[in-house]
Amino acid sequence: MHLKISRPVRNLFKSMIQTTKFWKENYLILRELLHFRRVTTFAIVFTFLAATFEGISVGFLLSFLQSLTDTTAAAKTGIIWLDIWIASQPISPLYIISVLILLTTWTRAGFNYLAGIYTESAQLNLANRLRQQIFEQLQALPLGYFTEARSGEIMNTMTTEIERLKQGFSGVAFVFTRALVVTVYFICMFAISWQLSIISVIVFSLLAVGLTTLNARVRESSFGISRANGQFNSTALEFINGIRTVHASGTQEFERQRFYKVSQNLLNASIKVVYAWTLVKPIAEGVATTVLISLIIISFTLFTLPIASLLTFFFVLVRVVPSLQDMNGTLAFLSTLSGSLENIKELLREENKVFFKNGNIEFLGLKRSIDIISVDFGYDPTNLVLHNITLSIERGKMTALVGSSGAGKTTVVDLIPRFYDATEGHIFIDGVDVRQFEVNSLRRKMAVVSQQTFIFNTSVWENITYGTPGATEAETREAARLANALEFIEEMPEGFNTILGDRGCRLSGGQQQRIAIARALLRDPEILILDEATSALDSVSERLIQESIEKLSVGRTVIAIAHRLSTIAKADKVVVLEQGHIVEQGNYQELLQQHGKLWKYHQMQHELGHTG
């Protein structure tokens, strides 16, 4: 025999379980409120005081109505000492109670104002704290995380989703405030008539349980909005960052269709939530009004109450109904934020991420060599891109890496400053595993100049001094001069104060490279990594940058990835890679004499040069 539980009871239990689950799941976010306890405490205290004075004003209202309906009876507020004081006054109790009602009303308004200020402050502090937490999380993650995550979706979480969470916090504060007020109202109602109050509580509880199903539908549909928002932001960001490629490829129509598709998906997801969310309030209003009329009929038919008590009871009930409706509407809205909460929690969650593990040994400089011993590496450990790499890079010498595209050259040099860690094997600097060094002390002794340098949307000065904030004007100008950048900088409208635009859009590719070289020169690095720094440039820019690199390389340990072999002919060691394996290494001229892979590359470029 199975015990059959009615639908309302099942829904009530389901609602209680969901509420408990909500607080448990969102502890990761709610715990951030502990960092500004004072603001949160004041918000709660002033909200409680406002609700308390709401109840006091209802008590005074009952006395006011009693004075109006029965002029012979003594005014009774329920507070004995106050009733005695009112009775002893020469003026009419009606006037005294009127003044008390006004005092409590304005006091309540003051507390509501203070509660609003501190609630908004708590909301803004929470959003700021979450933004900072996400930033710290992103700082602590290795570069490998960003090769898998989409930058548009991360930006969506840091902006749109946190903004939605702010609205959600306002909603939670509103529900909390209304819940306190409704509690006070119910206390007043029970004080007037416990029988009518019990009937009212039962009826409105059933109404609330009935609306739980609708709120659950809203919650489920909200996840679609977060997914659609992430896709929209990612597509829009890719379009903006790749606008040059879009124009060069003539793919405006393709991008239009792609953008319209994600925009339409966002619209469809939003409309779906609106259909579910907006249904809650009108249903609640209709049912609540029906219940209210029914209660009025019941009270006149079954109960005998003084007219003043009855009027006060229904005055309170009329105030309760819209409060309950607003709470239901807000709870429905809060259900739409479940997807946003999930995205923020996912970005803040630590247990499903591999964090960068820093060392604690201060790197004081390279004394002997960098030794790569039997290193395997894969961005995905099951799919290796480097196999058994063993290589020694001596201090003060130039080591060049050569190979076809995808051979693993950039991956090898990325392991030295710990942009990635080896899957197997070790990298030693002067006999110490690179993972044992404090990473910023290591990277401060290095500079990387690559083909795809990054120029910040700020002044020339701030771009060159980036990472060297204490540089003097003379040092900065000298770095620009050595990088062959001083001439074009001084020709710009505001010289070193010229803003370079998003990703340095006001500069040519060669000029961007020279700014990057000036930045590297100013750092005065011991170890210099050149990742095809002269690739894809015109001959004039290439010559200027090659001159700059030669000046930059003097007296340093240089690791150069070369596309044009002429740039590394003077290297002390040349390492040839193919498909993640070292196939040759040695002196440039010696390797040419072996007629191996380097000789083939040399012949190919020699023939292309003659053809050109």
Among 348, 376, 404, which residue terminates a domain? 348
Q: Assess whether pLDDT exceeds 90 at residue 371.
A: yes
Rounded CA-CA distance 417/397 in Å is 18
Specify the higher pLDDT residue, 443 or 194: 443
- Could you tell me if 254 and 336 lie in one domain? yes
Specify the higher pLDDT residue, 469 or 373: 373
Band (611; pLDDT cuts 50, 70, 90):
very low
* Element containing residue 404 per DSSP (H, E): none
- Could you tell me if 438 and 464 lie in one domain? no
Band (78; pLDDT cuts 50, 70, 90):
low
pLDDT of 224 = 72
pLDDT of 1 = 38
Among 348, 376, 394, which residue terminates a domain? 348
pTM: 0.61
Is residue 410 in a domain?
Answer: yes
Is residue 602 in a domain?
Answer: yes
Tens digits of residue pLDDT in 506-524: 787 778 888 888 888 888 8
- Could you tell me if 343 and 492 lie in one domain? no
In this predicted structure, which of 152-161, 364-373, 602-611 has the lowest mean pLDDT?
602-611
* Element containing residue 311 per DSSP (H, E): helix 307-335
pLDDT of 263 = 86
Is residue 1 in a domain?
Answer: no
Is residue 544 in a domain?
Answer: no
Torsion of CA 310, 313, 318, 322, to 10 degrees: -170
Rounded CA-CA distance 45/115 in Å is 8
Among 320, 348, 376, which residue terminates a domain? 348
Contact 524, 471 (CB under 8 A): no
Q: What is the mean pLDDT of the chain?
A: 76
Q: Return the CATH number at 229.
A: 1.20.1560.10
Edge-to-edge strand ranges of the sheet holding 369-377: 386-394, 369-377, 424-429, 432-433
Q: Assess whether pLDDT exceeds 70 at residue 562.
A: yes
- Could you tell me if 264 and 391 lie in one domain? no
- Could you tell me if 494 and 379 lie in one domain? no
Q: Assess whether pLDDT exceeds 70 at residue 448.
A: yes
Q: Assess whether pLDDT exceeds 60 at residue 201.
A: yes
Is residue 598 in a domain?
Answer: yes
- Could you tell me if 105 and 176 lie in one domain? yes
The dihedral built from the CA positions of residue 586, 591, 596 and 601, taken in this order, carries a sign that is positive
- Could you tell me if 425 and 515 lie in one domain? no
Q: Assess whether pLDDT exceeds 70 at residue 489.
A: yes
Q: Return the CATH number at 418.
A: 3.40.50.300
Contact 463, 456 (CB under 8 A): yes
User: Which CA distances in Å does 308 have to 61, 89, 336, 530, 577?
Assistant: 9, 23, 43, 89, 95
| Degrees to nearest 5, angle at CA 555 with 553 and 558 | 45
- Could you tell me if 199 and 52 lie in one domain? yes
- Could you tell me if 340 and 485 lie in one domain? no
The winner for highest mean pLDDT among 140-154, 312-326, 504-518, 597-611 is 504-518
Contacts of 168 (CB under 8 A, 6+ apart): 333, 334, 337, 340, 341
The winner for highest mean pLDDT among 127-131, 188-192, 309-313, 391-395 is 391-395
Please give the biggest Cα pair distance in the chain.
123
Tens digits of residue pLDDT in 372-405: 999 999 887 778 889 999 999 999 888 889 888 8
- Could you tell me if 196 and 227 lie in one domain? yes
Q: Assess whether pLDDT exceeds 50 at residue 168.
A: yes
Rounded CA-CA distance 148/578 in Å is 25
- Could you tell me if 70 and 164 lie in one domain? yes
Is residue 344 in a domain?
Answer: yes
Q: Assess whether pLDDT exceeds 70 at residue 590.
A: yes
Q: Where are the alpha helices (DSSP H) in 193-302?
A: 194-241, 243-249, 252-302
Q: What is the separation of C-alpha 546 from the centre of its chain, rounded to a whole number of angstroms?
A: 41
**What are the backbone angles phi and psi of residue 486, rounded to the nearest 5°?**
-60, -40
Count how many domains the chain has. Answer: 3
Is residue 354 in a domain?
Answer: no
- Could you tell me if 79 and 196 lie in one domain? yes
Band (297; pLDDT cuts 50, 70, 90):
confident
Which residue matches tokens 């469809």?
268
pLDDT of 426 = 92
The winner for highest mean pLDDT among 74-78, 102-106, 199-203 is 102-106
Is residue 461 in a domain?
Answer: yes
What is the DSSP secondary-structure string of 91-117? S-HHHHHHHHHHHHHHHHHHHHHHHHH
Whole domain around residue 476: which residue ranges? 449-524
**What are the backbone angles phi and psi of residue 76, rounded to the nearest 5°?**
-130, 120
